[in-house]
Amino acid sequence: MSVIQIVLTLVLFSGLCLWRSGKSERDGESKTSSKFLSVGKALRIRGVLFVLIAFFVYCRPETTAGLWASSYLVEYQGVDVETEAIFSSLFSPGITVGRFLNGFIVDRFGDKRVIRYGISTLTVGAILVGIPFKSEIFALAGLIVIGLSCANLSVIHATPSNFGRENSQAIIGIQKVSTYVGTTFMPPLFGLIANGVNIGLYPVYLAVLAVLMPTITETLNLSIG
């Protein structure tokens, strides 16, 4: 891992000249295509509040699914530790592969359609994880499906078309803040639910989030026209 990190660092430093050469060309465009927005002004733009809620909700299935998958599969589904470790390790690579593929399809199908596809498959993944099949392979496959589905929720990519290129820089910044807040507080919330009630509610929790996502995103689409 250290060798990979060192190689990546060297590649990035060797490419600094390319960033500098392109900076002057972008300066003129950036003056006209972006502007400073305070948080208060950004929040007053129609639809921004809904997109922040969407980010807050989106990070919940991604982080909760990844952090609590091991406990659920081993303690509730009875999957042996070795098998669970293999499939849980595929969750994050599933997101990575999904985002790589998403880059090729989002311009063709459009952000709204791709997000709808992602929400639909996320629901399928939650169902596969929760249905008590005799074989654990369905729950394990569902975990991978959830990872791939989270990658298709490309809300950031839709920011320029939703709110204009001139507002994108400021709005993406507060979108990331909303993501970090949700990432910090939502997985521990499920931990309280698991300890207080039952960790078997893991797929139910994910399914509820999968239902909330289209509600919020479609409301966003309506609010911005």
In a domain, residue 5? The reply is no
Q: Are 68 and 187 in contact (CB under 8 A)?
A: yes
- List C-alpha distances in Å: 36 to 9, 153, 170, 176: 31, 27, 7, 17
Report how far residue 162's alpha carbon sits from residue 159's, in angstroms, rounded to the nearest whole number. 5
Q: How far apart are the first and last CA of the chain?
A: 47
Q: In this predicted structure, what is the pLDDT of residue 27?
A: 54
pLDDT, tens digit, for every residue of 143-202? 888 877 776 666 777 788 778 888 888 888 888 888 888 888 888 888 898 888 988 888
Poorest-pLDDT segment among 24-33, 114-123, 141-150? 24-33
In a domain, residue 2? The reply is no
Domain count, the chain: 1
Domain of 43 in residue numbering reads as: 37-224
Q: In this predicted structure, what is the pLDDT of residue 61?
A: 72
Q: In this predicted structure, what is the pLDDT of residue 179?
A: 80
Q: In this predicted structure, what is the pLDDT of residue 131?
A: 80
Closest CA to 221 of 155, 177, 165, 126: 155
State the amino acid at position 7 in one-letter form: V
If you ran DSSP here, which 8-state letter would residue 38 be given?
-
Rounded to the nearest 5°, which phi and psi values hold at 184?
Answer: -75, -40
Q: Are 153 and 119 in contact (CB under 8 A)?
A: yes
In a domain, residue 30? The reply is no
Residue 217 is part of a domain; what is its CATH number? 1.20.1250.20
The verdict on pTM exceeding 0.75 is: no
